[in-house]
Structure 1
Amino acid sequence: MREQNTPIPTLLKAIAVAAAMAGCVPDRIPEPKDGTFAPGVDHRKAAEDGLEVGNRLMAAGQHELALEAFTRAALTEGLTPEILTSMGTANLGLGRLGQAEQLLRRALKEDDTRPEAWNNLGVVLMERGEVKEAEQVFHRAYALDNGESDSIRDNLRLVQEKSANPDKSVAQTEAYKVVQRGNADFLIRKNP
């Protein structure tokens, strides 16, 4: 009569072989002779500021990672107007216009003296086709900035141009592109 192979005895044999083989492995992996190896983590050093990390990631075009960094910053610092503006800008970069608009409006409700928040809200409104409100928002951003930012001035000029010619075709409307400038600043630019 043949012996049946049941799963449990087979599994026990496999475990015994694996344990015996593990005893044949050297205790540690040898370090490279040229001294190149990954450094350890310094747990004594303070962690980098989440807002700073998020701004760097935004500059690198990593909007999803930046949003995660801003969320971590919100855990330590709270939902400050600066963090809300940054989160709104990251969502704008990801094309999440509804979320971006909500966050930017919330940031402006808490602190309405931030020209970059007004500018980014204007970009969201332009992308949504709300030209009249976008024009008012860009005027506010321009006034708060005292006309010092080229991107806000350019956005205001473009929205005024669009407002003056509302009968443009869809192809002409799509000739505008949102471009990030700086850490939390977007510029609407015509495509070449």
Structure 2
Amino acid sequence: MHKWVGAVAVGLILAGCEEKTATLAQGDSPFPPTGDVTRLQSVDGLAVGHRLMAAGQFELALKAYLRAAGEQGTTVDVLSALGSVNLRLGRLGQSEQLLRRAIKTDQTFVPAWNNLGVVLMDTGRVGEASRVFKTAFALDSGKSDEIRENLRRALAKIENPAYTSEKDERAFDLVRRGNGRYLLLQAP
């Protein structure tokens, strides 16, 4: 009886295979469809990274910014974004290096100047941070309240090294989002 049941099972399995091969013979392929992938456009890595930064997903934002660097090269936008995400990840040394490279690439790029000031404040170099915030404030023509506040806090810290307030614990940084638009991110 076992031999008969086994033979029926093998027969059913083979019958199932025949249907699959018959379907494949009619023109279907087991391989993915082919086509011209050059027509497909990927989403800009910087835009994705900015959205991930806003959502607090800093590791994923770093990956998106690295992808943007691979696609666009190390532009001032990419360097500044990489510096900003490293700042959020607590990698202050890497952040400082990337932001200084961004400033070297474009000395008028306000977010890089401001974010460098935030790094310098976090590392205790208040005097240099105030000079950097002054540069960012001047380049921004005083339009950004956040940069003004960062400068005010740095100057207050210079005048009174013991100065602290609850607001000082919540540093700001800017991330550029396309044609002159900035997204203000507030540290948690």
> TM-score, normalised on structure 2?
0.71
* Partner of residue 39, structure 1: none
Is 1:176–2:183 an aligned residue pair? no
What's the secondary structure of 2:171's corresponding residue? strand
Kept in 2: contact 1:54–1:69 (CA 8 A): yes
How far apart, CA to CA, are the structure 2 residues paired with 1:81 and 1:181? 14
Larger helix proportion of the pair: 2
Task: For structure 1, list consecutive stretches of 5 or more residues without a partner in the other structure.
Answer: 1-19, 28-42
Cα shift at 1:47? 0.8
TM-score by length of 1: 0.69
Counterparts of 2:108 and 2:57, CA distance in 1:
27
Residue range with higher mean Cα deviation, 177-186 or 160-169: 177-186
Contact 1:70 1:87 (8 Å CA) reproduced = yes
Query: Structure 2: which 5+ residue stretches go unaligned?
Result: 1-12, 21-36, 177-181
C-alpha distance 83-163 of structure 1, shift in aligned 2 (>3 A): same
Distance 1:135 1:173 in 2: 19
Contact 2:153 2:168 in 1 (8 A): no
Q: What RMSD, in angstroms, separates the aligned Cα atoms of the two structures? A: 3.0
- 1:153 Cα deviation (Å)? 0.6
Q: How many residues are aligned here?
A: 154
Q: CA distance change for structure 1 residues 186 and 125 in 2, over 3 Å: closer, same or farther?
A: farther
The answer as to 2:135 corresponding to 1:146 is: no
Alignment of 1:101-140 (within 5 A): 101-140=96-135
Distance 2:74 2:161 in 1: 38
1:73 aligns with 2:68: yes
Task: Give CA-to-partner distance per residue, 1:115-141, whole Å, 9 cap, x none.
Answer: 111000000000000000000000000
Instruction: Give 1:45 shift.
Output: 3.3
- CA-to-partner distance for each residue in 1:19-63, whole Å, 9 max, x for gaps? x7xx79xx8xxxxxxxxxxxxxxx653110111111111111111
Evaluate the alpha carbon distance shift between residue 132 and residue 188 of structure 1 in structure 2; reply closer, same or farther with a 3 A threshold: farther
The CA distance in 2 between the partners of 1:186 and 1:123, in whole Å, is: 13
CA separation of 1:142/1:100 partners in 2, compared to 1, >3 Å: closer, same or farther? Answer: same
Shift of 1:177: 2.3
Percent of matched pairs sharing the same residue:
51
8 Å contact 1:131–1:162 — kept in the other structure? yes
The 1-side partners of 2:55 and 2:174 are apart by 11
